[in-house]
């Protein structure tokens, strides 16, 4: 055992190239889904050649395995980080994996004659509604969070993320998650008509730099089978009591209305406010209400600031 440990630490761990594979230029022979015919370029320095997605069905709260195959097409001057997100739509995040050193090797040290195997385990958030989702990937710099631009094979700008073509189906868990597993930042417990309870909310960031998103998730529990459908209003209200922005919709943007829920089921319901550069800086209250029910439930305040 001691001999193996010395061999590993002293020799194997330094030989990163031993565990990176050589394939014909622009191809990965072992990739389940190949992008060789139209490789995606990140910043003109790194290509995504393909990916493995051995399982396309996953239960809410479960883990999804994803392997990305990258290749540096030129020396990479910076160390980039990789993200892999489960989204629907792209601004709503239902699970993620981030790698500081994709493939366990800083991108600044990637060779140009081999590809890098980058393995991710994406934890699907508890309460994620059943349905079809997409996987989006990208590169960014940790210091400032700036993402690398993405180009298609013809050089056209796609944005700062790339969406994999293979959809992922999320199904109900075998049993509802515990409330402790939901990561609530606000515990509420408001009942509506004895059929649905708003357990609480998850608000990841209460300080928003313009331009930027206010991301919010509401966690609902069905207290009966197939409760009546509800319509939800989430508002940003300024210190003068004026509504600065509002989202009015049925839960999950209509994709999973309350009438489909089962007793005891917990449903995560995502909202995202886009605040442009012209949005007024200041302190805003976030509040939520259900049409037909009296009053509003406050989720506290968010601070909107300019960069």
Q: Would you say residue 23 has pLDDT above 70? A: no
Residue 258, pLDDT score: 97
Let me know if residue 264 belongs to a domain. yes
pLDDT at site 188? 96
Q: Say yes or no: 128 and 232 in one domain.
A: no
Q: What is the CATH number of the domain that holds 250?
A: 2.60.40.3880
Average pLDDT over residues 105-126: 95
Same domain, 102 and 163: yes
pLDDT at 19: 41
Among 122, 152, 171, identify where a domain stops: 171
Q: Quick one: tokens of 122? A: 């994406």
Give 70-109 pLDDT, tens digit per residue: 999 999 988 999 999 999 999 999 999 999 999 999 999 9
59 within domain boundaries: yes
Give me the chain's average pLDDT, please: 91
End-to-end CA distance of the chain: 54
* pLDDT score recorded for residue 42: 97
| pLDDT value for 14 | 40
The pLDDT > 70 percentage for the chain reads 91
Q: Looking at 138, 171, 204, which one is the last position of a domain?
A: 171
**24 or 106, greater pLDDT:** 106
Residue 7 included in any domain: no
Q: Are residues 51 and 80 in the same domain?
A: yes
pLDDT-derived band at 10, boundaries 50, 70, 90: very low
Listed as own residue / partner, the contacts of 291-299 with beta carbons closer than 8 Å and 24 or more positions apart are 291/230, 291/231, 291/232, 291/233, 292/230, 292/231, 293/192, 293/193, 296/235, 297/188, 297/190, 297/198, 299/186, 299/201, 299/203, 299/216
Q: Looking at the 3D structure of the chain, how many domains does it have? A: 2
164 and 238 share one domain: no
The position carrying tokens 């990637």 is 110
pLDDT of residue 307: 84
Confidence (pLDDT) at 30: 74
Q: What is the pLDDT of residues 246-261, one digit of tens each?
A: 999 999 999 999 999 9
Least confident range from 30-44, 125-139, 210-224: namely: 30-44
Q: For residue 151, is it within any domain? A: yes
Residue 182 clears pLDDT 60, i.e. is over it: yes
Residues sharing a CB contact under 8 Å with residue 6, sequence separation 6 or more, in sequence order = none
pTM beyond 0.85, yes or no:
yes
Here the tokens at position 88 are 């629907």
* The pLDDT of residue 164 is above 80: yes
Residue 66 has pLDDT above 90, yes or no: yes
Q: Which domain holds residue 276?
A: 179-306
């Amino acid at each position: 055992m001691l001999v193996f440990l010395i061999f590993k630490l002293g020799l194997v761990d330094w030989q990163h190239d031993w565990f990176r594979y050589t394939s014909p230029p622009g191809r990965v022979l072992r990739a389940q889904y190949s992008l060789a015919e139209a490789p995606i370029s990140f910043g003109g320095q790194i290509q995504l050649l393909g990916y493995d997605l051995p399982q396309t069905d996953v239960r809410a709260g479960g883990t999804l395995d994803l392997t990305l195959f990258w290749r540096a097409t030129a020396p990479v001057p910076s160390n980039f980080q990789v993200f892999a997100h489960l989204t629907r739509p792209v601004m709503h995040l239902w699970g993620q994996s981030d790698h500081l050193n994709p493939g366990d090797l800083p991108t600044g040290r990637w060779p140009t004659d081999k590809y890098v195997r980058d393995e991710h385990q994406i934890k699907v958030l508890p309460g994620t509604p059943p349905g079809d989702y997409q996987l989006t990937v990208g590169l960014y710099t940790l210091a400032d969070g700036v993402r690398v631009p993405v180009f298609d094979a013809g050089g056209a700008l796609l944005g700062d993320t790339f969406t994999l073509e293979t959809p992922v189906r999320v199904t109900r868990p075998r049993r509802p998650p515990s409330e402790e597993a939901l990561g609530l930042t606000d515990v509420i417990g408001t009942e509506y008509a004895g059929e649905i309870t708003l357990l609480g909310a998850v608000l990841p960031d209460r300080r928003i730099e313009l331009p930027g998103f206010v991301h919010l998730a509401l966690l609902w529990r069905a207290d009966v089978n197939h409760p009546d459908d509800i319509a939800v209003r989430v508002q940003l209200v300024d210190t003068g009591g004026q509504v600065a922005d509002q989202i009015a919709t049925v839960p999950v943007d209509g994709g999973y209305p309350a009438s489909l829920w089962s007793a005891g089921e917990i449903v995560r319901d995502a909202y995202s406010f886009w605040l442009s550069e012209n949005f007024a800086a200041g302190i805003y209250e976030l509040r939520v209400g259900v049409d037909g029910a009296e009053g509003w439930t406050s989720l506290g305040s968010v601070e909107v600031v300019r960069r």
